[in-house]
Amino acid sequence: MGGKIVVLNGSPRKNGNTSLLVEEFVKGARESGNTVTTFFLDHMNIHGCKGCFRGGKNPAIPCVQKDDMEEIYPVYKEADIVVLASPLYYWSWSGQLKTAFDRLYAIEECDPNYDNIRKESILLMAAADHDFDEILNYYHNLLNHIHWSSLGDVLAGGVMQLGDIKGHEMLTKAYELGKSINVNNPVS
């Protein structure tokens, strides 16, 4: 039996380098029997978190804002694994991914203790540079804070122009990471 995986693709380019990493990961994950739902965030209507602390009143639709996050919430809640995919922008992930991730806080507000749903996570990232230290520091601190565990990351450096990633070894790594996912035999 496979697991349920949700991919939050924060790339602004549907056929960009990050999206190609996502495609390879998804291909491998599906071949291993996992169910994968991918959200291409740039084509969705998602507003920034208002910090209103009024979410969580309705677990079915946890945020007071009515936008495309309503498509993401039910899939996210059911997912075993959350894949965060983004190009590297100023040593962090894209605004598209940050905006959607911030809005997941409304689900945390459903719990009286503001306890986050425990998930496993994977980071897929493409960048012109090869310096991923800052984002990895942020990512691992974030996971520690929300009590998630990392199943790994695929960081493809040196891929600035559209299509630069074609033939890159990280595409194979993304595929293999996806292929290795099995909820009965988790990635170590």
- Residue by residue, DSSP assigns 19-42 as HHHHHHHHHHHHHTT-EEEEEEGG
Q: Indicate if the pLDDT at residue 4 is higher than 90.
A: yes
Give, in degrees to the nearest 5, the angle at Cα 159 between 157 and 164.
140
| Dihedral sign of CA atoms 14, 125, 165, 25 in order | negative
Residue 52, exposed/middle/buried by CB under 10 A (0-12, 13-18, 19+)?
exposed
Per-residue pLDDT reduced to its tens digit, 59-76: 888 999 999 999 999 999
Q: Is residue 188 domain-resident?
A: no
Q: Is residue 184 domain-resident?
A: no
Q: Is residue 187 domain-resident?
A: no
Pick from 29-33, 48-52, 54-58, 170-174: least confident = 54-58
Q: Is residue 170 domain-resident?
A: yes
Q: Is residue 78 domain-resident?
A: yes
Q: Is residue 47 domain-resident?
A: yes
Q: Indicate if the pLDDT at residue 1 is higher than 70.
A: no
| pLDDT of 183 | 64
Of 110 and 75, more confident = 75
Residue 159 has what DSSP assignment?
-
* Dist CA 75 CA 179 (whole Å): 21
Strand, helix or coil for residue 69: helix
Domain tally, the chain = 1
pTM to 2 decimals? 0.94
Q: Indicate if the pLDDT at residue 57 is higher than 90.
A: no
Helical H runs in the chain?
17-31, 69-78, 95-103, 105-108, 133-146, 169-179
CATH number, domain of 137, equals: 3.40.50.360
Q: Is residue 136 domain-resident?
A: yes
Per-residue pLDDT reduced to its tens digit, 140-151: 999 999 999 999
Q: Is residue 186 domain-resident?
A: no
Average pLDDT, the chain: 92
Other C-beta atoms closer than 10 Å to the C-beta of 173 total: 20
- Give 188's pLDDT tier (boundaries 50, 70, 90): very low
Q: Indicate if the pLDDT at residue 186 is higher than 50.
A: no
Per-residue pLDDT reduced to its tens digit, 77-108: 999 999 999 999 999 999 999 999 999 999 98
Give, in degrees to the nearest 5, the angle at Cα 61 between 56 and 65.
85
Residue 60 lies in domain: 4-179
